[in-house]
Every structure is written in structure tokens, then in C-alpha cells.
Amino acid sequence: MRFATSTACLVVVLSWSAVRAGDEAPQREIDLLREMAGCFDVTYRYVEDGEHDSFGPDYQLDDPITEWVSFARREDGAVIQVHVSVTEDDRLVPHFHEIWDYRPDDGQWRHEVWEWTPDHPEREFRYSCHGSWEQNKWSCAAGRAEKPFRDSGAPFGFDRDDYDWLDRTNIVQVTPRGWVHNQHNRKMTDDAELVAYELGWITYEPVDTEQCRDAPDEYPIEPR
């Protein structure tokens, strides 16, 4: 049994309200977002203090995770990407989705991240930020963001109570061989104390679409 169907997910995604983008986004930047969609081997790496690093035995993320990333356009031009993990027993588990909304007044993209997991089916807003594409790189400083799932009781992570929020910076680099999501994170307390500095390195390496099982049918990529 799957946790969600494409129909239910897409109805929710496409019904969200957003400010109309107005002018069309540059085609090259839309193409870069489209290149971030497909079937990937995804490797998550986080380095912090030696005790909470993703290389430690508590994370158990040494092997890549098969992940499908969909691509859809709303009527206002915003791009929707749903990230779906494909488990070893062929279940499709959506775990977060992104909204990329082009702002023609300054040429930037507003980026929103929403959590969607079996434990949070009502969707949970994570953070947003603005940034511009420079050639094949996009970056933004999100500022204050909620504590990530990996530090909030995830089975592959920790249940942290030594900090309260994340000061997050994201960098995305897209190449013909896949793409990388680099994170520079400061873990802060509500008293503005810096508890730790974390570097994240998430690689998306393209693999045969067949490895993503039924995900392309349930979470499609719009044709060019």
C-alpha cells in the first residue's frame, strides 16, 4: 500500500495560492529546474562535530537512496518539485516538495520548502528564501528555519534539544552529471547562541528511470 497517490498529491499542490509571476521566467532557468527532476541515487552527508555527523553509525546513510523528483508548472508559472523516496520494498514515500516562483521585478526565484511525510500528511512549511541563478548555480540565505527532521527524531538521525532553530544557507549546482545541494547551517538557540556549524553535501546522480518503479506515473514530469 502506498502512502499517497499522484492524484491526491497533485490536487493539493496545484491548488495552492501564489502571487502571479507576471513575466515569464528565462527559459534557461526553467530548463535547469527541469534537469533537477528525474530518477537519482541521492547521498546525504552532513558534517558538524564528529558526534552528529552523517558519517557516524547513527545515521546509516552510507549508501545512496533512490529518489524520484517530479516537475510540474502551475498556471501562474511556478515550478513544483515533489521528492519521493523509493524504498527497497517498492513503496513510494514523498518526504518534501518545493515551490519555485519567479519574481520578474528582481529576476529572483522565491523558493519554498514544505515537508510531506507519512507522519506529517497535512504538510508542514519548512522555510523560504530568494535567490538568482548565476550560470548553473543558485543560492539563497533562508535565515531562520525550523529544526530539520534529521535532528527532530528521524530514525536515521537524532532528537536534538541543544538548539532551537537553523540559520540556513542553500547552494544548488546543476551539471550534466546531476546536481548538488550544498548547505551552510548555523544551529542556534532562542537566546542567539551558536551551538554548532553544519555543512551539508547532498548529491543527486542520475540513474535509469526503471529504478524509480512507478514513481514517474504517480508523480509525472511535464513534457518540454
Count Cβ atoms within 10 A of the Cβ of residue 165 and give its class: 0-12 exposed, 13-18 middle, 19 or more buried.
middle
Measured distance CA(58)–CA(93) in Å, rounded: 22
Q: By mean pLDDT, which of 56-60, 62-66, 162-166 is the weakest? A: 56-60
Measured distance CA(125)–CA(116) in Å, rounded: 9
CB atoms within 10 A of CB 57: 6
Q: Which residues, in sequence order, are CB contacts of 193 under 8 Å at separation 6+?
A: none
pLDDT of residue 119: 58
pLDDT of residue 118: 57
pLDDT of residue 121: 55
pLDDT of residue 16: 38
φ/ψ bin of 192: left (φ > 0), alpha (ψ from -120 to 50), beta (otherwise): left
CB atoms within 10 A of CB 77: 18
Comparing 81 with 18, the larger pLDDT belongs to 81
Confirm if 155 and 180 have CB atoms less than 8 A apart: no
67-90 pLDDT, tens digit per residue, is: 999 999 999 999 999 999 999 899
Count Cβ atoms within 10 A of the Cβ of residue 90 and give its class: 0-12 exposed, 13-18 middle, 19 or more buried.
exposed
pLDDT of residue 12: 39
Q: How confident is the model at residue 13 (pLDDT cuts 50, 70, 90)?
A: very low
Percent of the chain with pLDDT over 90: 66
Q: Which residues, in sequence order, are CB contacts of 2 under 8 Å at separation 6+?
A: 91, 92, 218
Q: How confident is the model at residue 25 (pLDDT cuts 50, 70, 90)?
A: very high
Answer yes or no: is pLDDT of 8 > 50: no
Measured distance CA(138)–CA(124) in Å, rounded: 24
Q: Cell 546543476 maps to which residue?
A: 174
Domain boundaries, the chain: 6-218
Answer yes or no: is pLDDT of 57 > 90: no
Measured distance CA(67)–CA(88) in Å, rounded: 11
pLDDT of residue 130: 96
Measured distance CA(91)–CA(214) in Å, rounded: 9
Comparing 64 with 4, the larger pLDDT belongs to 64
86-135 pLDDT, tens digit per residue, is: 998 999 999 899 999 999 999 999 999 998 765 555 578 889 999 999 99
The helix/strand/coil state of 86 is: strand
Answer yes or no: is pLDDT of 63 > 90: no
128-187 pLDDT, tens digit per residue, is: 999 999 999 999 999 999 998 889 877 777 889 999 999 999 999 999 999 999 999 999
Answer yes or no: is pLDDT of 1 > 80: no
Q: Partners of 222 in the beta sheet?
A: none
Query: pTM of the predicted model, to two decimals?
Result: 0.84
Answer yes or no: is pLDDT of 28 > 70: yes
Q: Which residues, in sequence order, are CB contacts of 123 under 8 Å at separation 6+?
A: 12, 114, 115, 116
* Superfamily grouping for domain 6-218: Calycin beta-barrel core domain (2.40.128.20)
